Structure 1
């Protein structure tokens, strides 16, 4: 345009002046058109917040032109984690018409546990002359958590005899209305609320409901997840197997309507802070909370599972279970396990890459110990003469 202006002045040609005015007018009109259309543009991303490994993750980007003018062109560029998509970006050009809705769809593949950021999404447009290109919108990143794998408990090699969940008691501490055991004759100490009127009418004498005596106990899964707590040259793989073991045990117990808590020495990738303690709970929503925390878990440089356990087990009742999952040797963890047992807690020790001496030492002290092998299946300690 500057060259055309110089030529028009030098040659004093009306044609060049006419062309100059025409191009300048078109440029101003195009900039106004693009600015007007871009201001009426609405872009949003629709994506799930979490997924299991191996599940496809569909992502939808909706573009809505709410104005009365079409947009000459719109280029969308979404930055993606390399672990979820190759290449690590998607790019698409579209031309939203007046009051038109357009879509961009793509699929992520959840290959590995972790906490990922989808985006940011950048939208660029310009006029038909390619002069006034501009960024009109930027959608902030969205978080996506990939849960750890969950294996059946029998695949982990953990026996059903481990003291998980609610245990029968020889002395009635309290009764659980969800565990009926029939009826018995009425006694003066029984309350009226316990009378089973149907059984009373059938037998001709007052009968009260009987419930199985029980001790309501909880399970606290304690996961070591700092680099200092795992040795060897394959610490990353070992720690990922430990996460799988923790997720599988929690899922198994919660599916049996047991109460499960979680404490770990790792970091939460979402908050960039230590995870701390997740109090025991039950139900599907609590399981999703546990899996989400394990999915976001990142390795800490330093950590002491014993210190974390000292805080996490304060509220546990007698007979509750502590499952310690760690890469440390048995000689380092046994003093803490025995201290918990003296408080009336049941302890199960799962050691990643355990040595034969680790299992034998734990067995001699009466602590259930398991070796978390390379296929994430713990092998129970064998009694030694």
Structure 2
């Protein structure tokens, strides 16, 4: 016998003994309330479905993403009060809700809360719009479903995983043409290179010991009367690795301090350069000494060409955090073990580039092209 049933029985006995009909009616109401509460406790969440649908799983800063939330009571038992707390990572904005409540159980999660009163076999769909105002990866779920009784007491609660993810990539800006006075980014030739392109004939020079015989320009040698060798320009690479300097403030790399605006600007610059280079037919990759939601200390996308590569690069930029995992010099050394000589390394930084001089000279002597692009705040 439940508490509500015992209370109803006791009220009925008192009503009969005292001859008070009102107590009998109260006993009937108490028994009815207890019975229905027991029904909602036992069957309230059975055949109750909750569904969340995102308009897309990928967006760019400034986009609006549709979000549909549907709840369906697929049974004959009506539910007077149903609530759902749909948890989402901090930072997402809902147009129809000016402020989301911070969840008091899960860290760094907000709750999109909805309540309904559902009749039997009733389905309700609500439409929301997510404003992608910042770069990042936003996780949805779990959800907590609550069913309450007529007076608002909790009858039963259940948590369901229902995971989903929205990746918001940095926006891209047009890359201004330099007007032909300089070679395009990633196509500049190194002054010295271990590799040469036979299609880039650069003239002749005096024969030097060690030159192979096939390099001798016989016609020019016969004309001037002394041995001359062919000269070629250093190889021009269409393989570009964008090297993002995660450290945005002077000081040691291990310091957990950063400039948020500068870091976001670097991400926008990297995405913009990647898009421009890929549209030009180049092979583009990305490397950064930072954390991207994995155990790896280097965030890296190998160089590839084609339209799908832009999504890979921007996805990594969306996941990349502003805390440096190592120095820029260590990152460049790591890259030289993984990309072939002749690759152009384009360094994007918000710091003064003067300390980078030794790294750039070492890259040049190893046969890598290098450029430094400094973000102007």
TM-score after normalising by structure 2: 0.70
Show structure 2 runs of 5+ residues with no match.
102-111, 190-195, 201-234
Number of the residue aligned with 1:367: none
1:44 partner SS: strand
Q: 1:62 aligns with which of 70, 76, 86?
A: 70
Number of the residue aligned with 2:289: 265
Residues 218 and 316 of structure 1 are in contact (CA less than 8 Å); yes or no, is this contact kept in structure 2?
A: no
Q: Are 1:241 and 2:250 an aligned pair?
A: no
Number of the residue aligned with 1:87: 99
**CA deviation vs aligned residue, 1:206-230 (integer Å, no higher than 9, x gap):** xxxxxxxx97641011111135557
Q: Are 1:143 and 2:159 an aligned pair?
A: no
Number of the residue aligned with 1:105: 127
Number of the residue aligned with 1:289: 312
Pair 166,132 (structure 1): closer, same or farther in 2 beyond 3 Å: same
Pair 265,111 (structure 1): closer, same or farther in 2 beyond 3 Å: same
Q: 1:223 aligns with which of 236, 244, 248?
A: 244
Residues 245 and 328 of structure 2 are in contact (CA less than 8 Å); yes or no, is this contact kept in structure 1?
A: yes
Counterpart Cα distance in 1 of 2:178 and 2:115: 49
Number of the residue aligned with 2:215: none
Counterpart Cα distance in 2 of 1:163 and 1:242: 16
Number of the residue aligned with 1:42: 49
1:60 partner SS: strand
Counterpart Cα distance in 2 of 1:171 and 1:116: 50
Counterpart Cα distance in 2 of 1:156 and 1:96: 63
Q: Are 1:307 and 2:330 an aligned pair?
A: yes
Compare 331-340 and 129-138 and name the one that shifted more: 129-138
Residues 43 and 139 of structure 1 are in contact (CA less than 8 Å); yes or no, is this contact kept in structure 2?
A: no
Q: CA RMSD in A?
A: 3.4
**CA deviation vs aligned residue, 1:182-219 (integer Å, no higher than 9, x gap):** xxxxxxxxxxxxxxxxxxxxxxxxxxxxxxxx976410
Number of the residue aligned with 2:80: 72
Residues 227 and 300 of structure 1 are in contact (CA less than 8 Å); yes or no, is this contact kept in structure 2?
A: no
Q: Are 1:345 and 2:354 an aligned pair?
A: no
Compare 108-117 and 96-105 and name the one that shifted more: 96-105
Number of the residue aligned with 2:345: 322
**CA deviation vs aligned residue, 1:36-59 (integer Å, no higher than 9, x gap):** 242101112112322111111211
Pair 22,13 (structure 1): closer, same or farther in 2 beyond 3 Å: farther
Number of the residue aligned with 2:280: 256
Counterpart Cα distance in 1 of 2:178 and 2:77: 62
2:45 partner SS: helix
Number of the residue aligned with 1:362: none
Show structure 1 runs of 5+ residues with no match.
174-213, 352-371, 375-385
Residues 147 and 294 of structure 1 are in contact (CA less than 8 Å); yes or no, is this contact kept in structure 2?
A: yes
Number of the residue aligned with 1:32: 39
Pair 301,263 (structure 1): closer, same or farther in 2 beyond 3 Å: closer
Compare 155-164 and 314-323 and name the one that shifted more: 155-164
Give the C-alpha shift of residue 151 in structure 1: 0.8
2:125 partner SS: strand
Counterpart Cα distance in 2 of 1:292 and 1:230: 29
Counterpart Cα distance in 1 of 2:148 and 2:244: 53
Residues 197 and 236 of structure 2 are in contact (CA less than 8 Å); yes or no, is this contact kept in structure 1?
A: no
1:164 partner SS: coil
Number of the residue aligned with 2:198: 171
1:339 partner SS: helix
Number of the residue aligned with 1:196: none
